[in-house]
Amino acid sequence: MKKLILMISFCIAVAHLYAQNIVSEPEIGDAESTVSQMPVVIIPEPVSLMKKTGTFTLPENVIIQALKSAELKQSITFLSDRIGTSTGKFVSVVNNATHPTIKLILNSQADPQLGNEGYKLNVNPTQIVITANKPAGIFWGAQSLIQLFPAEMESKELIDNRKWRLPCVDVVDYPKLGWRGLMFDVARHFFTKDEVKRFIDDMVRYKFNLLHLHLADDEGWRIEIKGLPKLTEVGAWSVKKVGTFGDFVPPTADEPRTYGGFYTQDDIKELVQYAQERFVNILPEIDVPGHSLAIIASYPELSCTPDAVNYKVRSGEKIMDWSRGAPPIALVDNTLCPANEKVYSFLDTVITQIAQLFPFDYIHMGGDEASHNFWEKNDQVKALMQRENLKTIPQVQAYFEKRVEQIVMAKGKKFMGWDEILDGGVSPTAAVMSWRGMKYGIQAANDKHNVVMSPTEFAYLDYMQADVVTEPRVYASLRLNKAYQFNPVPASVNAQYVIGGQANLWTEQIFNFRQVQYMLWPRAFAISESVWSPIEKKNWTNFVQRTEEHFKRLDLAETKYSPAIYDPMISVKRSPDKQLMIELTPEIDGLDIYYSFDNSTPDRFYPKYTAAIVPPKDASILRIITYKGKQPIGRLISIPVTDLQKRSR
C-alpha cells in the first residue's frame, strides 16, 4: 500500500512538473499572439499592407537565396549584417536552396505597378519573400522587412535569449516621387567623410534616395578643385567659435584659422560610390553668386569690390543686415561679380571637375539670397547693364544664372537653382528647387520647369521643433505635425513637372553630428512619408503611433532624436484686463500637463493644466512637465515669467 501511495505521489509530482513546463512554455504562444496583435510600424507607410494570421520565427540558421546575387549584393550584405549582429544567427547566402529563409527575387518580366523602386514583401509562417523589378526595389523591401522585426533588431550588440518573431504580412509598395531628398549643409560646419556616410546610412532606412550636399558658402569651401588650391588652403578654414552663430564677435587677426576641413577628390569618389551602393544619388551644390565669401577670401579678384582683398572666411560674425528682409543688405560683399569674365572662367574650372566627380544628372548652383547693394553702385555692373540692355538688378542676376547654366549644360549636366532664379527671368531648361514657399514651385511647374518642392514652412529641419527654451534659437519653428502636412504635389500644380520633394538641414546652429541627428528625427520621418506614401494613406494619429515605436528603434541604434512631440506648445496673450494668459497645447493626444509656479519641480500630483493659466502676482518661474498615464514622458521645461511677459508683447 505504501508503495502504491509513493507511486501515485511520484506520478502527481511528475505531472505537476510537466504542467509547470507547459505553463512556462506558453510564452511562445503568448508571444505569437502578442506579435500578431502588434501594429505594423513601417515608415514610410506602404501603398498596401495586409496583415495575416500567424507569425514568422527566425531560425538558428538563416539562409538567404538570391539567384542574381551579384546584382543584389548590397541588399544581401545589409540583411546579413543586420540580422547577424543583433540575433547572433548564422546567415548564409546561396543561389538555390530547398527551404530558404529569405528569398530575394528580381522579376524576369517587369511588374508595371512596381516601377524601378517598388517591391512586394510577403511574410508567411515559414518563409519571407521580397520581389522587385530592380535591385533598388529589393533594397527598399529589405528596409521594410527589418522594421517588421522587434526593435531589438537595431541593436549593435548581440541580444541573447530573444525569440525573433514578426507578423505575417503582404506588402505592395512603391514611391510617389522619384526624388526623395535630404539636404546636408557641410559648409557652415564641416562634417567628416565618415559622418556623411552615417548620414546616408540613416536616410536609407526611411527610403530617402537623394543626398543634396551643400558644399560651399560664406563659412567654408569643402571640395578640392585642382588648379585652384586656395579654395581649400584658405576657403576651407575659419576661427572656431562656440555659442550662437551670427552673434559672434569678429575674429581678431591673431586667432588661428584651423577650424573646418574639406573633401579630397578621392573622398568624393568614395562617398559617391558608397551612396550608389545604397541606391542614393548625390546632388552637389556650389552656391553662387551670393553666399560666396569663402570663394572671395580665396580669390578676391572675383569680387566687384576692391576691399575684398581684406575679406576672411566667415566664422559666424554678422555679415548681413536682415532688417529689410530678403534679399539682405550685405555688410561685406559676399557675391561674385557678374560683370567679371574671370568669374565665368573660374566657374568653368569648378563645374568641369564637379561634373566629372558626381555622376548625377543635376548640378545645383544656388542663386539664393544674393545681396545686390554692392552691385547697384558698381561701375562694372552698370556697364554690363548698358551693354546687355538690362533694366534691373534682378535681370543682372538672371544674366549671371543663364551664363552659369550654359557652362553646366556644356559639361553634359542639367542646371538647378533655388527659386530666386525665377525673379529676373530664367532659361526654359532650368530646374527649380522651391524653398520660399509652395507658390514658387507651383508657378515654375506650371511654366514647365522641373521642380523639387522644399518649402520652408514644411521642410526646413534647422528650424526649432519645440519651445525656444529647449532648442538652439533660430528665426522660425517647425513642429512635427506641421512637417507631416507637407504635400509636394498639391492639386493646383502640373504634377508631371514635380520631380521630387526634400527637406533641408542648414547647419549654422549645428556644431556636431549628434545634433544633426536630433534635428533630423523624427521630422524626417514625416518628410519621408510625404514623398513616398500616397496622400490618402497619411494619418496623423497612426503616424504618431509608428513614430513612438521607432523611437525605441533609434534608442537601440544609438541615434539621437528629438522628443519634442511630448512638449506642449506654449503661447501667451493678454486678457482684456491685461492679465498674462498662458496656454499649453499638447501636440499629440494622450498627454497630461502638470505645472508649478512655486520654484519646485512638478510631477503628476501637482496642478493639472485644463485651461489658460494666470501666473500668481509674485511668481518668477513656470515649470511644466507632461505625463502619459503615470509615467513622465516630456522634458521638464522651465521658463521665467519675465520671458513669458516679453512674448505677450
Average pLDDT (449-455) is: 98
**Residue 216 and residue 141 in one domain:** no
Q: Looking at 37-46, 375-384, 488-497, which range is the least confident one?
A: 37-46
Average pLDDT (495-499) is: 98
**Residue 546 and residue 592 in one domain:** no
Measured CA to CA in angstroms, residue 210 lies from 255, 311, 361, 509, 543 at distances of 38, 34, 12, 23, 23
Average pLDDT (43-65) is: 96
- Residue 14 inside a domain? The answer is no
Residue 325 has a pLDDT of 78
Concatenate the DSSP letters of all residues of 370-429 into one string: ---HHHHT-HHHHHHHHHHT--SHHHHHHHHHHHHHHHHHHTT-EEEEEGGGGTT---TT
**Residue 379 and residue 420 in one domain:** yes
- Residue 464 inside a domain? The answer is yes
User: Is the per-residue pLDDT at 616 higher than 50?
Assistant: yes
CATH number at residue 635: 2.60.40
Q: What is the pLDDT of residues 167-214, one digit of tens each?
A: 999 999 999 999 999 999 999 999 999 999 999 999 999 999 999 999
Higher pLDDT, 8 or 335: 335
Residue 3 has a pLDDT of 41
For 427, counting Cβ atoms within 10 Å of its Cβ (0-12 exposed, 13-18 middle, 19+ buried), the class is: middle
- Quote the mean pLDDT of the chain: 93
Residue 38 has a pLDDT of 59
Q: In 163-235, which ranges are continuous DSSP H helix? A: 193-204, 230-233
Categorize the per-residue pLDDT at 17 as very low, low, confident or very high, splitting at 50, 70 and 90: very low
Residue where one domain finishes, among candidates 173, 190, 207: 173
Residue 649 has a pLDDT of 76
Q: What is the pLDDT of residues 550-595, one digit of tens each?
A: 999 999 999 999 999 999 999 999 989 889 999 999 999 999 999 9
**Residue 282 and residue 139 in one domain:** no
**Residue 166 and residue 87 in one domain:** yes
- Residue 492 inside a domain? The answer is yes
CATH number at residue 424: 3.20.20.80
Answer yes or no: are the C-beta atoms of 484 and 539 closer than 8 Å.
no
Categorize the per-residue pLDDT at 4 as very low, low, confident or very high, splitting at 50, 70 and 90: very low
Residue where one domain finishes, among candidates 507, 531, 564: 564
CA angle at residue 388 from 382 to 391, to 5 degrees? 65
- Residue 29 inside a domain? The answer is no
Answer yes or no: are the C-beta atoms of 49 and 37 closer than 8 Å.
no
pTM of the model: 0.93
Residue 611 has a pLDDT of 96
Distance CA 270, CA 332 (A): 36
**Residue 190 and residue 162 in one domain:** no
**Residue 582 and residue 550 in one domain:** no
Enzyme catalytic residues: 217, 291, 369
Residue where one domain finishes, among candidates 541, 564, 587: 564
Q: Which residue do the cell numbers 519573400 mark?
A: 129
Q: What is the pLDDT of residues 227-267, one digit of tens each?
A: 999 999 999 999 999 999 998 999 999 999 999 999 999 99
**Residue 560 and residue 571 in one domain:** no
User: Is the per-residue pLDDT at 441 higher than 80?
Assistant: yes
Distance CA 596, CA 467 (A): 18
Element (H, E) at 132: strand 128-132
Element (H, E) at 645: helix 641-648
Q: What is the pLDDT of residues 344-353, one digit of tens each?
A: 999 999 999 9
Element (H, E) at 141: helix 135-148
Answer yes or no: are the C-beta atoms of 584 and 627 closer than 8 Å.
no
User: Is the per-residue pLDDT at 8 higher than 90?
Assistant: no
- Cell numbers linked to 647: 512674448
Decide: helix, strand or coil at residue 102: strand
**Residue 152 and residue 203 in one domain:** no
Q: What percent of the chain has pLDDT over 70?
A: 94
- Residue 25 inside a domain? The answer is no
User: Is the per-residue pLDDT at 19 higher than 70?
Assistant: no
Q: What is the pLDDT of residues 78-97, one digit of tens each?
A: 999 999 999 999 999 988 87
Report how many domains make up the chain.
3
Residues contacting 628, CB < 8 A, separation 6+: 566, 590, 591, 592
**Residue 301 and residue 412 in one domain:** yes
**Residue 555 and residue 618 in one domain:** no
Strands 451-453 and 90-94: unpaired
Average pLDDT (546-553) is: 97
**Residue 155 and residue 200 in one domain:** no
Measured CA to CA in angstroms, residue 217 lies from 181, 220, 508 at distances of 20, 6, 11
Nearest to 183, CA basis, from 524, 561, 534: 524
- Residue 19 inside a domain? The answer is no
- Residue 27 inside a domain? The answer is no
Average pLDDT (30-35) is: 48
- Residue 404 inside a domain? The answer is yes
Residue 324 has a pLDDT of 80
Domain that holds residue 127: 38-173
CATH number at residue 125: 3.30.379.10
Average pLDDT (499-518) is: 97
Answer yes or no: are the C-beta atoms of 215 and 294 closer than 8 Å.
no
